[in-house]
């Protein structure tokens, strides 16, 4: 049989179903541990400074990706940030339609390299780049040391 004689009706072919099952536990790492413990315990958001490159990474890293220095100097980011970009999500992680669209934003801070992706806590029609925002953090007793300890970013009244 040559390849030209093979079956072209795929309904005649069988298939075999299965899943790939595994559970994962991801540690935050050395830098991540400092970031998430500060968030959980004190509601602070930290960045890591590289003095050689004059950069402060958010989220903080253990090393500078540019000069490869080890980073140990962690600083608080400014209280107010800026929305760089927004999107409105109409479906959840599994593709199911949401009752109302959810705004998400990429937020940056002055003097800080990088930023955070998180919920934008405004009505969908008010979501736009350029908004001045500040983080709204959940009450301490429900914080667990993950990015979800931040509820989202809300408008910062001047």
Which residue lies nearer to another protein by CB, 80 or 137?
137
Q: Which two tokens stand for residue 62?
A: 């253990």
Smallest separation (angstroms) from another protein to the CB of 3: 6
Q: 119 near 127, Cβ under 8 Å?
A: no
Binding site for another protein (CB under 8 A): 1-3, 6-7, 10, 12-33, 36-37, 40, 61-63, 65-68, 70, 94, 144-146
Q: How far is the CB of 122 from another protein (least distance, A)?
A: 27
Going 92 to 79 to 44 to 25, the CA torsion angle's sign is positive
**Nearest distance, CB of residue 43 and another protein, angstroms:** 15
Q: How far is the CB of 147 from another protein (least distance, A)?
A: 8
Q: Which is nearer to another protein, 124 or 145 (CB)?
A: 145
Which of helix, strand or coil describes residue 94? coil
Nearer to another protein, 14 or 97 (CB): 14
CB 78 within 8 A of CB 110: yes
Q: In the complex with another protein, which residue's Cβ is closer, 31 or 105?
A: 31
Sign of CA dihedral 90, 128, 146, 112: positive
Tokens found for residue 150: 């931040």
Looking at beta carbons only, is 12 or 100 nearer to another protein?
12
According to DSSP, residue 52 is labeled: T
Residue (of 3, 62, 67) closest to 35 by Cα position: 62
Q: How many CA atoms lie within 13 A of 64 on its CB side?
A: 19
Q: How far is the CB of 123 from another protein (least distance, A)?
A: 29
């Amino acid at each position: 049989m040559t390849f030209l004689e093979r079956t072209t009706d795929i309904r005649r072919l069988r298939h075999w179903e299965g899943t790939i099952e595994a559970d994962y536990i991801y540690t935050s790492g050395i830098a991540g541990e400092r970031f998430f413990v500060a968030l959980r315990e004190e509601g602070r958001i930290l960045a890591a400074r590289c003095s050689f490159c004059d950069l402060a990474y958010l989220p903080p890293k253990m090393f500078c990706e540019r000069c490869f220095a080890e980073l140990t100097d962690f600083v608080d980011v400014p209280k107010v940030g800026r929305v760089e970009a927004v999107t409105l999500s109409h479906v959840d992680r599994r593709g199911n339609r949401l009752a109302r669209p959810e705004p998400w934003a990429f937020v940056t801070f002055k003097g800080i390299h990088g930023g955070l992706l998180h919920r934008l806590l405004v009505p969908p029609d008010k979501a736009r780049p350029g908004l001045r925002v500040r983080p709204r953090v959940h009450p301490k007793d429900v914080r667990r040391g993950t990015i979800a300890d931040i509820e989202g970013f809300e408008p910062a009244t001047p």
